[in-house]
Amino acid sequence: MTSSAPALAKGEAKSELNDSLDTGAKKVFCVPEHTVEIIANSGEGAQKCGQIFGSVSAKMGNGVWTVEIIPAEIEPPPRHVTSTSGNLIRFGTEQITNWGDRTKLAVAFNEQVLLSRHRLDSLDDECIILVEDMWENHDDENIRKEWATAMEEMSSANYRIVKVPIEEESLKIVDNPHHGKNMFALGMLAEVYQRDLDLIKKQIANIFRRKPAKVTELNIALVELGIQWARENLDFQFDVPAKVHEEARVVMNGNQATALGAIAAGMEFCAMYPITPATSVSHELCDIIESYGGMVHQAEDEIAAAGVAIGASYAGKVALTVTSGPGMALKTEFMALAVMTEMPLVLVDVQRGGPSTGLPTKVEQSDLLAALYGQHGDAPRVVMAPATIEDCFQSMITARRIAETFRTLVIVLTDANLATGVQQFPRPQLDERWQEAPLDLSAVPEGTLPYDWDHSTGLSRRIIPGQANGQYTVTGLAHDEFSKVSYEPESNELGCNMRSRKLAVFQSTLKPPTVVGDEEGDLLIVGWGSTRGAIEEAVGRARADKLKVSSCHLTFMSPLEPGLKEIFSRFKRVMTVEINYSDRLGDPYITAENRRLGQMCWLLRAHTLVDIDCWTRVPGQPLRPGDIHNAIVSHLENGAAS
Amino acid sequence: MSVSMPSFLNCISDDDFAHYEVDDYQKCVAKWCSGCGDFGALNATKRLLAKEQLQPENTVFVSGIGCSSRFPHYVNSYGFHGIHGRALPIATGVKLTRPELDVFVVMGDGDCCSIGTAHWIHAIRYNMDMTVLLLDNNIYGLTKKQTSPTTPIGFSTNTMPRGSYLPPLNPLTATLGVSNASFVAQTADWIPAHMYATLQAAYEHKGFSFVRILQRCPKFTPDVFTDAVKNPDNNELLVHENGIDAPGLEKLFKNRIIHDPKDLDGGRHYAEVENRVRLGLFYRNGELPCYEDTREVVSVTAAEKIQKINTEFDRYAV
Ligand SMILES: Cc1ncc(C[n+]2csc(CCOP(=O)(O)OP(=O)(O)O)c2C)c(N)n1
Ligand SMILES: [Mg+2]
């Protein structure tokens, strides 16, 4: 996908726009994709505006990726660079797999939130900005000054700033502009991008379905006013053609997909403790799971949540616990217990920035090694990472199957990017068999052993309370086939062996990952998790520039998919791209020997003995295809000597 | 299972006729030190199981880590010997999803009142129908004589060789202070009749039945209960027509306090220690909500679920 096609190609397009301005004629730019954002103080409804815009675009047949822009506090001060709340929507003719590079058109309710985006380098140099004009000549002198200073700071960019009387216009319809500006803004965007008004109306009616009909009417009136204002005052429009999709499609964010996936997978029980950005998975589940005969238990802490989930699994239920990094840290002792007792358990870690409280609302892929190795003793488990919103759904079904077949802990690593990113995907086909209970309560044959390991696979039969003749005592102590505590050397070796063997058996069922691009070349980019879309887009651009680059995206981190060493051997160089920390060569004190690498990079080096490099960043936001592209180019330039 | 069926009754399943003797509840020989109070608790428990004829496959014992937490290994039932301090979350998961199972929880004083405190407080409030034994020997037994929250002030241990610094935590008043506490009793391992009667009452109570068992540790705290054992006159027995009644205790305990277990304030008052051991039922309220009852689930067929998920998808349809 040629995603960087600018709305206004540098130079001439801009002057073209200026031309059309001069002549007063409305100019329509046809583009394969565009990135728009709407930003405001928290509480002004920018998110709602963005969500409607995104979902209407999806419904019209555009590919869409939506990113939430969230302040860290619930009620941050208004008109402040830390208060920015809103939505970024990248949409196009083709499927959109990531948030892309920079915003081409922004609607801002004040200059401070705009400034925050400018400082983050989120806006394209030639971004069109529709900004509330009431601050420029505000009665309050301080505000006027703030406006002037901000504008001065932003004058370094070539933004095209259009001042809009958003509040003044909205007041024509509502008394309280805080509950209305967002719909006026939505109207402007609807006109600029020619969105389907009927769809917008339906969407609004749905949102306010529990409110008096008057509310829906007012909101629609505001949208229509926005449309009218844009029609009369803006001299440009963008046309982002949509495609007709044959198959049924759904649009949702990753946490919603995870929650629905859990239900579709037949998970009956989720124990959790609230933590951003994982919480909304449980919000979704809390909303609906009871009507499926299941429940969410909000525990007193993450330790308890893990314990309650393990208790439920022991009792024969399909159990889930959902958390983020700090919560997973608390669960580690119980995770090892699940491994030791071979209790099926699915743990979703919606990764955020760390360490410690870190960046609670922001994306990072820094929990990989913790998920793999963050426990006492040898505790083999399955670790997997969905790469797309659709994967979030599907991985829950896979995770359950693995957990039960192999009597193991399965960790699903999603992240804040997937959690809040909204994307459409083909409506999943459901299977009734996914709903089957793990076991019934019929008696087991007398003498059945709780760990009756098949010595070649490590697999054994699970027994649950209620099954006559099965009564045994689970223990986290080293134990034998009878689940009897045993400190015998052979017995401990055997237990470790059996628990580990299962991973190898599982790996034997996996296929090598696919290589996107040529099967051999100068550079292979390896990624995992939510970076897939950005990596493949970047590699696509590099390939369009005739660079011999391919990519390969891993779903399983434990066990790793087979055949990696062979794949790597076909490329001159291999480099991981990850959202976690690594030292950079050239920084003070950093040498090739002491350099700390990206987490997947460590893992692959250890497993393949290939001298793999990494390009990692921790900006607290998803990687941009443009930045990955630059990294690829410079890596190849630096390596050209070899 | 002790009754073998005559062959002409083959058509009837064993279970219908199963009868369990006390010994049928023994899984293997318990390995505690000789003189350990845990034996008494195990014996009283097995007697209770036999009296109630609990089916081993529908009974679950959950414990943490400690000498006392070995308990489930010795009972013929399902068991979960968990991790230190975390028996209650595991038991919560079991009871919440399988309320028909009889759940017993066994913890030590370090297990329950130190590392597991958060879970203890919340489990009291959840008030799930389970029988909870705190085997309180005033010491960390398994790890060899470290101070526990219930170790008496001044008592010398390996971590506080010059004596414990602070007055001990009182598990009874702590429990009675938590909202929704519904059953709090204290008994002692050396008075089998009282212990059995207490466990019986605890089992019969619907809710979180918290029984603190004063438990002698012959190795590390051999003397902390000596006075109470030797001079029952220094003890006080809480009695009431609605309280715990054990035959033959009249002779042993001259000091009796008439306390109605409905009376929470009185229970809290008597739970405060005044240099003497008080045994009996401090509080019981069978009317309080049990968490699992508030979380009852409906039964839904797979086909219905698929239909519902599809409706859910409609909400997200493009
Ligand atoms: C997380 C953790 N911390 C510490 C321990 C070590 N440990 C095992 S049992 C125990 C205390 C046991 O005392 P108590 O709970 O009173 O039981 P008792 O042995 O006296 O019956 C400790 C500290 C452990 N197993 N796990
Ligand atoms: Mg103890």
Residues A188, A184: Cα–Cα separation, whole Å:
6
Is residue A244 very low, low, confident or very high in pLDDT (cuts 50, 70, 90)?
confident
Place of tokens 């709090």: B184
Sheet of A409-415, strands arranged across: A295-298, A269-272, A319-323, A345-351, A409-415, A382-384, A556-558
Contact A537, A32 (CB under 8 A): no
Q: Where in chain A is the domain with CATH 3.40.920.10?
A: 2-239
Return the pLDDT at A24.
56
Q: Please, which residues have CB less than 5 A from ligand 2, an ion?
A: B 108-109, 137, 141
Residues B301, A436: Cα–Cα separation, whole Å:
9
3-state secondary structure A345-391: EEEEEEECECCCCCECCCCCCCCHHHHHHCCCCCCCCEEECCCCHHH
Compute the Cα dihedral for B138, B38, B72, A501 and give only its sign: positive
Is residue A9 very low, low, confident or very high in pLDDT (cuts 50, 70, 90)?
very low
3-state helix, strand, coil in chain A (%, to 5): 40, 20, 40
Instruction: Report the gap between the CA of A6 and the closest CA in chain B (Å).
Output: 27
Instruction: Report the gap between the CA of A124 and the closest CA in chain B (Å).
Output: 29
Instruction: List A residues 229-258 in contact with B (Cβ-Cβ < 8 A).
Output: 245, 248-252, 256
Each residue of A353-388: pLDDT tens digit?
999 999 999 999 999 999 999 999 999 999 999 999
**CB count in 10 Å sphere of residue B246:** 23
Number of helices (H) and strands (E), helices first, in chain A?
A: 20, 23
CA–centroid distance, B217 to ligand 2, in Å, is: 8
CA–centroid distance, B223 to ligand 2, in Å, is: 14
Residues of A in contact with B303 (CB under 8 A): 432
Instruction: Report the gap between the CA of B74 and the closest CA in chain A (Å).
Output: 9
For the CA of B87, the nearest ligand: 1
Helical H segments across chain B, by residue range: 14-17, 38-52, 87-97, 109-110, 117-126, 171-176, 192-204, 226-230, 249-252, 264-271, 291-294, 302-316
Return the ligand 1 atom nearest residue B84 CA. Answer: 26
Judge whether B96 is closer than 8 Å to chain A, CB to CB: yes
Each residue of A331-345: pLDDT tens digit?
999 999 999 999 999
CA–centroid distance, A191 to ligand 2, in Å, is: 73
Superfamily assignment of A250-435 in CATH? Thiamin diphosphate (ThDP)-binding fold, Pyr/PP domains (3.40.50.970)
> Looking at the predicted structure, is the pLDDT value of residue A410 above 90?
yes
Give Cβ neighbours of residue A125 (< 8 Å, ≥ 6 apart).
A102, A157, A158, A159
Each residue of A466-508: pLDDT tens digit?
999 999 999 999 999 999 999 999 999 999 999 999 999 999 9
User: Could you tell me the residue ranges of all domains in chain B?
Assistant: 2-292
Sheet of A84-92, strands arranged across: A160-164, A123-132, A103-108, A33-41, A84-92, A63-69, A422-426, A249-253
Which protein residue's CA is at the shortest distance from atom 2 of ligand 1? Answer: B84
Mutation site for B-interface testing, chosen from A471, A480, A486 by largest number of B Cβ within 10 Å: A471
Q: Where in chain A is the domain with CATH 3.40.50.970?
A: 250-435
Compute the Cα dihedral for A436, A441, A446, A450 and give only its sign: positive
Q: Where in chain A is the domain with CATH 3.40.50.920?
A: 515-638
Residues of chain B with pLDDT under 50: 1-13
Per DSSP (E only), the strands in A396-450 are: 409-415, 422-426
Test B303 with A268 for CB contact under 8 angstroms. no
Burial class (CB in 10 A: 0-12, 13-18, 19+), B247: exposed
Return the ligand 1 atom nearest residue B107 CA. Answer: 15
ipTM of the complex: 0.95
Residues B315, B318: Cα–Cα separation, whole Å:
9
Test A470 with B62 for CB contact under 8 angstroms. no
Which protein residue's CA is at the shortest distance from atom 1 of ligand 1? Answer: B84
Q: Which of A554, A538, A458, A553 is nearest to A498 (CA)?
A: A458
Instruction: Report the gap between the CA of B86 and the closest CA in chain A (Å).
Output: 7
Is residue A74 very low, low, confident or very high in pLDDT (cuts 50, 70, 90)?
confident
- For residues B252-274, one letter each, b for 16 or more C-beta atoms within 10 angstroms of the residue's C-beta and e for the rest, the string is ebeeebebebeeeebbbebbeee
Q: Position A459: which residue type? A: L
Angle, helix A254-264 to helix A279-288, in steps of 10 degrees = 50
Return the ligand 1 atom nearest residue B109 CA. Answer: 16
Q: Which residue of A has its CA nearest to B63?
A: A475
Answer whether the bond into residue A619 is a cis peptide, omega within 30°.
no
Q: Position B258: which residue type? A: I
Instruction: List B residues 264-293 in contact with A (Cβ-Cβ < 8 A).
Output: none
Q: Which two tokens stand for residue A504?
A: 């190898």
Return the ligand 1 atom nearest residue B137 CA. Answer: 20
Return the ligand 1 atom nearest residue B217 CA. Answer: 20
CA–centroid distance, B131 to ligand 1, in Å, is: 21
Residues of B in contact with A250 (CB under 8 A): 313, 316-318
Please give the average per-residue pLDDT across A131-149, as a whole number: 96
Judge whether A430 is closer than 8 Å to chain B, CB to CB: yes
Give the architecture (CATH level 2) of A2-239. 3-Layer(aba) Sandwich (3.40)
Residues A353, A363: Cα–Cα separation, whole Å:
6
The count of C-alpha atoms lying within 13 angstroms of the C-alpha of A630, restricted to the half-sphere facing its C-beta, is 6
Superfamily assignment of B2-292 in CATH? Thiamin diphosphate (ThDP)-binding fold, Pyr/PP domains (3.40.50.970)
DSSP label at B221?
B
Q: Which helix (H) or strand (E) holds A613?
A: strand A613-616
**CB count in 10 Å sphere of residue A133:** 18
> Looking at the predicted structure, is the pLDDT value of residue A598 above 90?
yes
Test B15 with A473 for CB contact under 8 angstroms. no
For the CA of B141, the nearest ligand: 1
Give the architecture (CATH level 2) of A515-638. 3-Layer(aba) Sandwich (3.40)
Tell me chain B's radius of gyration from C-alpha atoms. Answer: 22
CA angle (A334 as vertex; A329, A337 as ends), nearest 5: 135
**CB count in 10 Å sphere of residue B158:** 13
For the CA of B33, the nearest ligand: 1
> Looking at the predicted structure, is the pLDDT value of residue A23 above 90?
no
Residue B103: strand, helix, or coil? strand
Residues of A in contact with B308 (CB under 8 A): 288, 291-292
Burial class (CB in 10 A: 0-12, 13-18, 19+), B16: exposed
Place of tokens 């520039």: A545
- For residues A305-328, one letter each, b for 16 or more C-beta atoms within 10 angstroms of the residue's C-beta and e for the rest, the string is bbbbbbbbbbbbbbbbbbbbbbbb
Considering CB atoms only, which of A271, A293, A473 is closest to B72? A473
Judge whether A519 is closer than 8 Å to chain B, CB to CB: no
Q: Which two tokens stand for residue A12?
A: 């001439």
Contact A490, A340 (CB under 8 A): no
Place of tokens 């607290």: A620
CA–centroid distance, A495 to ligand 1, in Å, is: 24
Place of tokens 């889930």: A320
**Higher-pLDDT residue of B311, A638:** B311
Instruction: Report the gap between the CA of A330 and the closest CA in chain B (Å).
Output: 12
Which protein residue's CA is at the shortest distance from atom 26 of ligand 1? Answer: B84
Residues of B in contact with A248 (CB under 8 A): 317-318
Compute the Cα dihedral for A476, A482, A484, A487 and give only its sign: negative
Instruction: List B residues 153-212 in contact with A (Cβ-Cβ < 8 A).
Output: none
Residues with CB under 6 A from ligand 1: B 65-68, 84, 108-111, 135, 137, 139-143, 148
Test A311 with B80 for CB contact under 8 angstroms. yes
Test A263 with B61 for CB contact under 8 angstroms. no
Output the CA–CA distances (angstroms, integers) from residue B298 to A190, A270, A418, A549, B304, in the order listed: 45, 16, 32, 54, 12
Mutation site for B-interface testing, chosen from A62, A95, A308 by largest number of B Cβ within 10 Å: A308
Test A307 with B76 for CB contact under 8 angstroms. no
Each residue of A511-524: pLDDT tens digit?
999 999 999 999 99
Per DSSP (E only), the strands in A110-210 are: 123-132, 160-164
CA–centroid distance, B110 to ligand 1, in Å, is: 6
Number of helices (H) and strands (E), helices first, in chain B?
A: 12, 11
Each residue of A194-237: pLDDT tens digit?
999 999 999 999 889 899 999 999 999 999 999 999 999 999 99
CA–centroid distance, B140 to ligand 1, in Å, is: 6
